[in-house]
Amino acid sequence: MNHSAVAGDRREAVEVTKDRNGIDQVVLRNPRGASAQVSLHGGQVLSWKTDRGEEFCPPRRATRSGVLSHKISTPPACWPGESKFSSGQLSAQSSAKNTVESRNARCWCASCSRGKKEGRQGSDLTAIFKPPTAVRGGIPICFPQFGNRGSLEQHGFARNKIWVIDDNAPPLHTNDSDGKTYADLLFKPSQEDLKVWPHSFEFRLRVSLTADGYLTMISRIRNINCKPFSFSFAYHTYFSVSDISEVRVEGLETLDYLDNLYQRERFTEQGDALTFESEVDRVYLSSSDVIAVYDHEKKRTFVIRKDGLPDVVWNPWEKKSKSMVDFGDEEYKQMLCVDGAAIEKPITLKPGEEWTGRLELSVMLST
């Protein structure tokens, strides 16, 4: 492909619009029409769709009064009444398979739940979309804390902050820019952030969409402080599934896990695959590099590639769903989270050190 063709593809493949709160969001499209939508509210992927418009990672549908609604459909060039513009460092080029550095400990997490009938997925899903409230669904980033395992707010503050487009992102030591449509984002702590977590850092995030529709997220966190600090981290990925009772997760068999429903008691997974009949809240230890989520009814498999560190599996089930303000009472039935994370062994960075964590998501169809 010549340079002029690449330039033309860039204009079509990457767009920056504003959401209803005036916050920038980036829409990535590959040549086949698959798309991903990334909000600068938390650096969060809000949508990942096939070229047929099928949604894989939607925001959750909120059904209770007082919750701000925001409908998500196939991302248009602009929402009605919104403006669009190009961004110099948002890039679309054609690429090869990439690798990633991982200089410190990493782990993984997984969750599940359900939403109304499948027909409600995509066009009617709603959630709280206004800072400082985090958006439930999509792929939130949990940093520098996962859950309530520390003194900070639930899942840390990064998902509640406004990120910026990174116009001067240093190059990755991979081929991740080749053949991919991508956006580079940056988050630095404010003075208010430093009051609650007194550590200076740079958090760079690249979100990429390949020609085959694979979604890749690469996080780089650098310590620019004068002293070491430790943190936990997660890509808290929400997958859309047909019915949680028809889903199984493979790649966790025979592994030890900590069960948060039993005071983090340690057990060993006995089944050939993980299936769901009630609430699940576990941290799997030393999982494999690849995890597969099989959805029998939709005849598709989500493939999650990572570096073989712990996983967390969670399903709020019926009772807990009813207590969550921005979560529909029945949504536990049509949602599953399988998250890349560093939880049990937090990452420690010395001054000047950088940690890199990568998540790649793909979908395989079966007959």
What confidence tier does 296 reach under pLDDT thresholds 50, 70, 90? very high
Confidence (pLDDT) at 343:
84
pLDDT-above-70 percentage for the chain: 68
What's the whole-number mean pLDDT along residues 72-85? Answer: 33
Confidence (pLDDT) at 215:
96
Cα distances from 266 to residues 150, 252, 260, 262, in angstroms, run: 21, 14, 9, 9
Residue 295's contacts (CB-CB under 8 Å, 6 or more residues apart) are 241, 242, 246, 247, 301, 302
What are the structural domain ranges in the chain?
3-78+88-365
Q: Which carries the bigger pLDDT value, residue 192 or residue 255?
A: 192
For domain 3-78+88-365, give the fold: Beta-galactosidase; Chain A, domain 5 (2.70.98)
For 86-131, the pLDDT digits (tens) are 443 444 443 333 333 333 333 344 444 444 333 333 333 445 556 6
Q: Is the pLDDT of residue 60 over 60?
A: no
Q: Is the pLDDT of residue 184 over 60?
A: yes
Confidence (pLDDT) at 25:
95
For 120-149, the pLDDT digits (tens) are 333 334 455 566 666 768 999 999 998 888
Among 68-77, 119-128, 197-206, 213-222, name the one with the lowest average pLDDT.
Answer: 68-77
Prior bond of 144 cis (ω within 30°): yes
Confidence (pLDDT) at 320:
58
Among 69-78, 166-175, 189-198, name the one with the lowest average pLDDT.
Answer: 69-78
Confidence (pLDDT) at 35:
96
Q: Is the pLDDT of residue 361 over 70?
A: yes
Confidence (pLDDT) at 332:
74
Confidence (pLDDT) at 174:
67
Beta strands across the sheet bearing 256-259: 265-268, 256-259, 280-284, 311-315
Q: Which carries the bigger pLDDT value, residue 318 or residue 18?
A: 18
Residue 80's contacts (CB-CB under 8 Å, 6 or more residues apart) are none
Q: Is the pLDDT of residue 1 over 70?
A: no
